[in-house]
């Protein structure tokens, strides 16, 4: 709690714990955990067990690259990092996979996510070279399969729903 470049907090649902570390000399501001920013078009087969994080990294030299570390306590099953917002090539808010492309993106290693940002590029929601990076995004567990609930009760129960490994029929 005495580190200006780190914050530890509970997720939106209060069930998990996360630590966020920004580089020394930068300022972590406007940090909050949020619910799904666009439930109506959430990427198919994706779950967001840690919710979403919204924060700014200030005090950068305009155009500067910065690396942020996100530690998901009890989060080793995460395999993607999604963002919802605008990108330089699409000014309409949309979902996009923030996989590392050599310049910006997320590198996932177990419960540790390294987020690579460049002020003004993909991943910086304000897409403006202004010495500040705005982040709305969240770690996802993908590849799960769900079964639509039946409208009429037939006496068959399938659980858990959605499922990632095994299902139970009753």
In this prediction, residue 163 carries a pLDDT of 73
- The whole-angstrom separation of Cα 4 and Cα 147 is 45
| Whether the Cβ atoms of residue 139 and residue 133 lie closer than 8 Å to each other | no
Q: Can you give the pTM of this predicted structure?
A: 0.80
With a cut of 50, which residues of the chain have pLDDT below it?
150-151
In this prediction, residue 153 carries a pLDDT of 56
């Amino acid at each position: 709690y005495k580190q200006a470049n780190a914050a530890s907090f509970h997720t939106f649902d209060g069930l998990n714990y996360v630590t966020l570390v920004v580089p020394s000399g930068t300022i972590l501001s406007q940090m909050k955990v949020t619910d799904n920013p666009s439930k109506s078009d959430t990427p198919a087969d994706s779950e967001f067990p840690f919710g979403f994080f919204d924060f700014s990294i200030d005090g950068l030299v305009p155009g500067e690259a910065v690396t942020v570390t996100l530690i998901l306590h009890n989060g080793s099953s995460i395999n993607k990092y999604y963002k919802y917002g605008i990108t330089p090539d699409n000014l309409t808010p949309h979902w996009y996979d923030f996989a590392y492309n050599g310049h910006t993106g997320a590198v996932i290693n177990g419960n540790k996510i390294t987020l690579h940002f460049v002020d003004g590029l993909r991943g910086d929601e304000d897409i403006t070279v202004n010495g500040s990076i705005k982040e709305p995004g969240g770690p996802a567990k993908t590849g799960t399969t769900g079964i639509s609930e039946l409208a009429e009760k037939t006496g068959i129960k399938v659980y858990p729903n959605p499922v990632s490994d095994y299902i139970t029929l009753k």
